[in-house]
Amino acid sequence: AQTWKLDAEDWQPTNPYGTTGEAGTATTKVPVSVNLTGLKSWPNIPELARASGIGTYTTTFSLPSSWNNGKFGADLDLGQVTDTFTMKVNGTVVPIDQITGHVELGSFLKAGKNTLEVTVATTLNNRLFALDTAVAGRGVIQNYGLIGPVILTPYAQAVVWEVKK
């Protein structure tokens, strides 16, 4: 299984839950870092079981020295991602379909070590579940995060047929 580092912010109320006015909007963002062997939803990660916020997943992978962007491509499928997300490859923001989690990555990759970073923003449901009996009474815990499976499929490109003029 691929290893991932997850750096998250667990968004919690700074003041007691139910505080009104401006003080009721104050938020403390508690940093949480975990190393994962394989991906799973936040409720299945003890440090994030009732957390809500933002999490950045980072992993690295290598491509052979023969990798050449002109002849090779790569298809990336993030699998299940809940909720909204952004992605970087080797530090460059890569536009990715928010519905399918699918993108052609060939031009963003290089021979040797590559870094993939996916940042996921959650709803506040799971934090509210821990704080509010009305929310807990609904019995709905959301499976936040990058759940995957994340599949990178490199491929070679070749001219199969060419029309000569």
Which residues are within 8 A (CB) of 58 and not within 5 positions of it... i.e. 6 or more apart? 4, 5, 6, 7, 115, 116, 117
- pTM beyond 0.85: the answer is yes
pLDDT tens figures, 110-156: 999 999 999 999 988 889 888 988 888 888 889 999 999 999 998 88
User: 């962007």: which residue's tokens?
Assistant: 69
What pLDDT does 69 receive? 60
- Report pLDDT for 68: 73
| Separation of CA 96 from chain center | 12
The predicted pLDDT at position 100 comes to 92
**By three-state DSSP, how is residue 50 classified?**
coil
Closest to 59 in 3D by CA, of 37, 79, 80: 37
Give the pLDDT of residue 70.
67
Residues 55 and 4 sit within 8 Å (Cβ to Cβ): no
The sign of the dihedral angle between the CA atoms of 97, 100, 81, 2 is negative
Q: How far apart are CA 145 and CA 39, in angstroms?
A: 9
Question: What pLDDT is stored for residue 5 in this prediction?
Answer: 98
Cβ-based burial of 128 (10 A; exposed 0-12, middle 13-18, buried ≥19): middle
Q: Which stretches in the chain have pLDDT values below 50?
A: none
